[in-house]
Amino acid sequence: MKAPVLEAQQTGVDGGGGEKMRKMHTCDQCGKVFALPNLLRDHVNMHTGARPYICGKPGCNEAFACRQEYRRHVGKHELAWMCPYSGCGKRFAAKEHMQRHQLTHTEDRPVPCQWEGCNKRFKDENSLKGHMRVHTGEKRFTCHVQGCGKAFGYRIDLNRHTRTHFGQPARGNSGASQGAVPPPPPIDGAPLPGHPGLILSHLTNG
């Protein structure tokens, strides 16, 4: 492959009014234009595969094509303290900074999950009880449509499933207006709308 050539172009107008000519640096491989020569040089490294920016951290031999990637990598070494809370991942330069950040997870969530390996916290006991079903697999909400019997851990999942028996999509689609309310459940002993053969099982089996 031909070695890229660093080309400089002048833009602007020197009309004697003090406006300076500005050089724009163009990559001859792809035509991209850069305001500064060092930005163009880093860009050219992407074409050639050169990685002149080498991490000097002991035990790390990572190398990078551009200075921006190199600085981002070095920052990870400097920010050695990472928040342990699941889903967070923020990093800090000092342990005390990380500990101060941890308060944002705990101050308004005083109830911790006691399940081994779980660091989540909740605002109240009811929220914790709902979360525990993730660990235990408990499914306390059962579909009562005859012949179905599917069970779910959360009421919202049962409601979504029940709509499929009414001939409605489980989730809203683009054709339905947002915020539309599903029809009420059938009166005791009445067949489901559009499904005369389906009756609530707890009424027929009782």
Question: 24-71 pLDDT, tens per residue?
Answer: 788 988 988 888 888 889 889 989 999 999 988 788 888 999 988 888
pTM passes above 0.85 = no
The answer to whether the beta carbons of residues 142 and 151 sit under 8 Å apart is yes
Domain positions in the chain are: 54-106, 139-170+193-206
Rounded to whole angstroms, how far apart are CA atoms 182 and 169? 11
Average pLDDT over residues 69-92: 79
Average pLDDT over residues 79-83: 78
Q: Is 155's pLDDT higher than 80?
A: yes
Average pLDDT over residues 99-114: 77
Q: What is the pLDDT of residue 51?
A: 92
Question: 164-196 pLDDT, tens per residue?
Answer: 877 655 554 444 434 444 444 554 444 554 444
Rounded to whole angstroms, how far apart are CA atoms 80 and 100? 15
Q: Is 23's pLDDT higher than 60?
A: yes
